[in-house]
């Protein structure tokens, strides 16, 4: 009891940072609305493409069409969670030397930034999630397109495990985004990452094409890379493509990747701070 109260006291500043940044980001409703429009459009196009694929399939595909629908709609809803861009606030701090003030706070710098990164990944996602679910789950059946709608989860347990996995996804995606933030200490401008990552992340996470549909010879590689944990895993837990019995291990794997990437980020930040010192804040 005492230990947990002590932990809360230690974590309190970081939680406040998450809360306040979250609140600021929720103000960007226009961007969310625009994003929602685009993602809706892409979701419908992808469905039409897969309808065509599945109609002409000669052998049974490794995923049912319902599972693909889950993958597409939840993928679109959770798109903002993908670690493919940097928080412009942190980028500006680094470029203009505002990092000096960050170092004046009695907080661990990694923790301070990680807290903000969690808010940066989750707030825009939350803004888009509601409308997208409402459209894909409620609205499509209403207009007679129930065969394109978001299906129910594979079961109550699968839904619960999906929520847990989604939590792990947030931690993992934030840890990957942190690597990009820390790398800014060297590259200064975030443009490089902002162009590189949108090419890599959607493919490796499965959002371009669901990972189970890739050729067999690629599956081992796809299984053992961290980006799978930012989309493929939770989406397949929801649809039951990953059985509830296997989901626990998959979530552990997500958390293991998170731990590895956080450790790497920590190490990188220590080196980056030395670099910062050379530049003179």
Note the residues at the interface with other proteins (CB under 8 A): 9, 12-13, 16-17, 20, 24, 27, 96-98, 100-101, 103-108, 274, 277-281
* Count of other CB atoms within 10 angstroms of residue 274: 10
DSSP assigned state of 135: I
Q: What is the dihedral of CA 208, 209, 212, 218, to 10 degrees?
A: -80
- Rounded least distance, CB 104 to other proteins, Å: 5
Task: Return the half-sphere exposure (C-beta side, CA atoms, 13 A cut-off) of residue 215.
Answer: 2
If the CB atoms of residues 24 and 34 are measured against other proteins, the closer one turns out to be 24
Nearer CB in complex with other proteins: 94/197: 94
Burial label for 233, CB within 10 Å (0-12, 13-18, 19+), is buried
Closest to other proteins by CB, 48 vs 103, is: 103
Taking the complex as a whole, how short is the minimal distance between the CB of residue 34 and other proteins, in angstroms? 20
Question: Which contacts (CB < 8 Å, 24+ apart) does range 47-52 have?
Answer: 47/72, 47/148
In angstroms, the CA 281 to CA 274 distance is 10
- Given the complex with other proteins, which of 106 and 156 has the nearer CB atom? 106
CB atoms within 10 A of CB 278: 7
Of 10 and 195, which has the nearer Cβ to other proteins? 10
Q: How far is the CB of 127 from other proteins (least distance, A)?
A: 16
Shortest reach from residue 280's CB to other proteins, in Å:
6
Give the shortest CB-9-to-other proteins separation in angstroms: 7
Question: Is 225 in contact with 233 (CB distance < 8 Å)?
Answer: no
Q: Whole-number minimum distance, CB 15 to other proteins, in Å?
A: 8
Output the CA torsion sign for 164, 167, 169, 171.
negative
Task: CB nearer to other proteins: give 107 or 157.
Answer: 107
Q: How far apart are CA 42 and CA 192, in angstroms?
A: 25
């Amino acid at each position: 009891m005492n230990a947990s109260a002590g932990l809360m006291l230690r974590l309190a500043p970081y939680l406040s940072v998450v809360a306040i940044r979250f609140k600021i980001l929720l103000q960007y409703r226009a961007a969310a609305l625009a994003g929602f429009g685009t993602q809706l459009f892409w979701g419908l196009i992808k469905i039409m493409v897969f309808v065509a694929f599945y109609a002409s399939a000669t052998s049974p595909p490794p995923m049912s069409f319902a599972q693909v629908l889950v993958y597409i709609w939840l993928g679109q809803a959770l798109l903002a969670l993908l670690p493919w861009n940097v928080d412009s606030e942190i980028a500006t701090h680094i470029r203009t030397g505002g990092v000096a003030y960050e170092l004046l706070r009695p907080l661990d710098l990694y923790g301070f930034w990680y807290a903000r990164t969690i808010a940066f990944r989750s707030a825009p996602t939350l803004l888009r999630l509601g409308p997208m679910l409402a459209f894909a789950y409620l609205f499509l059946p209403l207009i007679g397109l129930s065969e394109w709608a978001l299906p129910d989860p594979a079961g109550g347990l699968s839904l619960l495990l999906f929520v847990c996995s989604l939590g792990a996804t947030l931690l993992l995606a934030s840890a990957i985004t942190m690597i990009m933030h820390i790398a800014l200490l060297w590259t200064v401008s975030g443009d490089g990452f902002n162009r590189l990552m949108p090419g890599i992340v959607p493919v490796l996470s499965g959002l371009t094409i669901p990972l189970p549909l890739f050729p067999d010879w690629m599956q081992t590689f796809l299984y053992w890379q961290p980006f799978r944990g930012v989309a493929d895993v939770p989406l397949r837990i929801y649809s039951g493509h990953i059985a509830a019995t296997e989901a626990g291990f998959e979530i552990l794997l997500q958390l293991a990747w998170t731990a590895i990437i956080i450790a790497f980020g920590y190490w990188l930040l220590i080196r980056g701070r030395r670099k910062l010192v050379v530049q003179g804040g």
